[in-house]
Amino acid sequence: MLGILGGDDRCPIARSLDVLGEKWTLMIVRDALAGTTRFSRFQESLGIPREVLTARLATLVEGGVLERRSYKPESGRARDEYVLTGAGQELAMVLLALGDWADRNRPSSAPAGMRFVDAETGERLAPAARAGDRLVDPERIRPEAVPPEHARPEDAQPENAQPENARPEDSRPALERA
């Protein structure tokens, strides 16, 4: 892939946007986090043209965010459904942060149609950044460029590596429709 920003595979933002940067993509992920798996339900929920939805789903499958699985209804032909992978489930944190940003910086008078909650307690979640055990204020977060000659080989992530702080599925944030 690597088509965004000239294919800079050193930049994690560019690599992410290669899969997630097209219009509608994060809305599809949002609906998948809420439990939508079928093409017709994505289309109904989003009002997205069929050809655009087909292209976005293909990109999300190719990017490892969704897995395409066949199913056959009792009285019908085989169809595909789209199920979040572990990588797709991790995007809950991205959407949590994006939604929080919009609530603060792009407020709406319309009531929210969804919110992120702790799956066990139902308590509403807020995004947070940590440095070790310490919470870091957003104003103190900054990207730091690492020149290639100073990059440490141990910082490189092997393909399909699981982060050290990966959480078990049952403790991941859940979407709750309001």
Whether residue 150 is contained in a domain is answered as no
pLDDT digit string, tens, across residues 9-66: 778 888 899 999 999 999 999 999 999 999 999 999 999 999 999 999 999 999 999 9
The count of structural domains within the chain is 1
Cβ-based burial of 61 (10 A; exposed 0-12, middle 13-18, buried ≥19): middle
Whether residue 15 is contained in a domain is answered as yes
Q: Percentage of the chain surpassing pLDDT 70?
A: 79
Whether residue 46 is contained in a domain is answered as yes
Cβ-based burial of 139 (10 A; exposed 0-12, middle 13-18, buried ≥19): exposed
Whether residue 65 is contained in a domain is answered as yes
pLDDT category, 165, cuts 50, 70, 90?
A: very low
Using the predicted structure, report yes or no on whether residue 142 has a pLDDT greater than 50.
yes
Q: Which domain holds residue 64?
A: 4-140+167-177
Q: Which of 121, 120, 138 is nearest to 129 (CA)?
A: 138
**CA–CA dist 41, 93 (Å, integer):** 23
pLDDT digit string, tens, across residues 83-137: 999 999 999 999 999 999 999 999 999 988 889 999 999 999 999 999 999 999 9
pTM: 0.77
Whether residue 80 is contained in a domain is answered as yes
**CA–CA dist 10, 13 (Å, integer):** 9
pLDDT category, 73, cuts 50, 70, 90?
A: confident
Whether residue 13 is contained in a domain is answered as yes
CATH code of the domain covering residue 58:
1.10.10.10
Whether residue 83 is contained in a domain is answered as yes
Whether residue 84 is contained in a domain is answered as yes
**CA–CA dist 126, 118 (Å, integer):** 10
